[in-house]
Amino acid sequence: MDGQLTGSNGSGVTGSIPLARVQSMPFKLCFQKSLDSQYNFKKMKQSGIKDLHNFIENTVGKGLSISEVDQLYLRKRGIALSDEVHYGKNRHSFRLHGQFIESHFVVSKIDCNHDVNK
């Protein structure tokens, strides 16, 4: 063993990224699949669109790291890095649900009224 925490294991397969390194990476938000049918753009009102815009501006727009976004918005995180994550601001009802895939936060639900897990 050469002291590396990540990298190739000799089989050509790359290892996982350490959590500390992931937390310092820039926060990236994306949509890789269809959103949940009850929590998508079609269901959003004008206020929800503004909330989503503000979230993007205050996270991606400011170049925050994953750790910084967690400090400001994290409401729930599972045990594993790939578990579902909920982002929202304090008692504000707007929530984004998703999971981290390859250091990108992949949105699965846009919960404008905090209907999920209420």
| 8 A C-beta contact, residue 69 and residue 59 | yes
State the pTM of this model.
0.74
The pLDDT, as a whole number, for residue 6 is 37
How many domains does the structure of the chain reveal? 1
5 domain-assigned: no
C-alpha dist (Å) from residue 48 to 30, 53, 73, 74, 96? 17, 8, 16, 18, 11
4 domain-assigned: no
Q: Tell me the residue range of the domain where 74 lies.
A: 24-111
62 domain-assigned: yes
- Surface-to-core class of residue 32, CB atoms within 10 Å of its CB (0-12 exposed, 13-18 middle, 19+ buried): exposed
The pLDDT, as a whole number, for residue 89 is 87
Q: Write out pLDDT tens, residues 83-94.
A: 889 999 877 789
68 domain-assigned: yes
Q: 8 has which bridge partners?
A: 14
12 domain-assigned: no
Mean pLDDT, residues 44-55 taken together = 92
1 domain-assigned: no
| 8 A C-beta contact, residue 102 and residue 63 | no
49 domain-assigned: yes
The domain that holds 71 is classified in CATH as 3.30.2310
54 domain-assigned: yes
Could you tell me which of 97, 112, 108 has the C-alpha nearest to residue 48?
Answer: 112
Q: Write out pLDDT tens, residues 58-114.
A: 999 999 999 999 999 998 887 666 688 999 987 778 999 999 888 899 999 999 887
Q: How many other C-beta atoms can be found within 10 angstroms of the C-beta atom of residue 64? A: 17
Mean pLDDT, residues 28-57 taken together = 90
